[in-house]
Structure 1
């Protein structure tokens, strides 16, 4: 990743667009070869990818590094930002475009210090207080949720509902936001209308019979939600 490319992706307007359909995935989330799943989702319009190799059956050591490198090259080939979940060492080793951390992971301010200013930093936030702390720590975007019930992440909190997004925007937060947790093409539009700039998913794509078609459905739902919000007077910042 060149510093110029990294900084370009960190521009707020560019980042909002990149968050529209954000795939999170590790090998243990896939029913097929992970590289094939990623290829199909990119063809369908995935705008950002996060490598999250955690939980039961996750790869470790050289196997983890090998898969991360392979998926990184696919993203680089297609111009899709590649984010690593909660592993700064791995992110730096494969020249990832950024890192995402949760509230129980490495402290966000320390992650920012380690990855520098060119790379993207995403931070999970469950409520307003966590969102404000993430911003102070240097986050470029926040992942808010889980908005709906999900069983994909073994350590997931209870669902917050969409009101948390509306409250964050009502209280003046203008940082790019991606909704997380239990999102499907059927509710993705609601998430965007409530204030998110896009949606992040795992099984909605990785467990789909046709990953490309599932991604296209999510992309359509997000764009329709953005259009509705714009028609309702959204300023583009929320």
Structure 2
């Protein structure tokens, strides 16, 4: 699995940043009409295909199926309504969010492509009912997930990267550190380089 996992809320960011070495990117659209979501997914799918990047669609698994995308990410609530049998039949891979052991057990029962754990550190992205999980929890999760790749998310910076990988994460998912950077392109390049080392 790619070590650097970019998450962004708009296809325009995908077009801006993917050319700088991003190979795994999630499109996480919030509060848009279905028409806009459909347009964004279609553009992101085509752009990522041209640039050899793996696109992951957050939440909208039915649209992802319809539009021929092959990877989705689902939160715990989305898992209630997702048709995993249909996803599997269509060859669509999926990653699942987890925050506690009960959620992890549930996620692993679906045999996901990866499991995400967060927030590892304090995050500004959204109000979380979970306190920062810390590196110890990352290590514990890695033991519990076995061969399933583990994605760390929440408050990550290039400076914290070595510790996150040493703790057992296979991939680092990044939102705020890039989206709120003074120069998102330069910050993306920094992340791509840091994840290679």
Fold shared, TM-score > 0.5 on shorter chain:
yes
CA contact (8 A) 2:142 2:150 kept: no
Could you list the structure 1 runs, at least 4 aligned residues long, displaced by more than 3 angstroms after superposition.
Answer: none
Describe how 1:42-191 pairs up with structure 2 within 5 A: 42-54=18-30, 58-107=31-80, 110-117=82-89, 118-155=91-128, 157-171=130-144, 173-191=146-164
Where in structure 2 are there 5+ consecutive unaligned residues? none
Q: Secondary structure at the match of 1:178?
A: strand
- Number of equivalent positions: 196
Q: Give the corresponding residue for 2:9.
A: 26
Q: Is the 8 A contact 2:124 2:176 kept in 1?
A: no
1: CA distance between counterparts of 2:57 and 2:17? 18
User: Which piece of structure 1 moves more, 83-92 or 126-135?
Assistant: 126-135
TM-score for the superposition, normalised by structure 1: 0.74
Matched, 1:39 2:15: yes
Deviations 1:96-137 (A, max 9, x none): 1211111222338x4421212522110011234432321211
Classify the secondary structure of the residue corresponding to 1:95.
coil
Shift of 1:25: 1.4
Select which of 194, 204, 208 maps to 2:167. 194
RMSD: 2.0
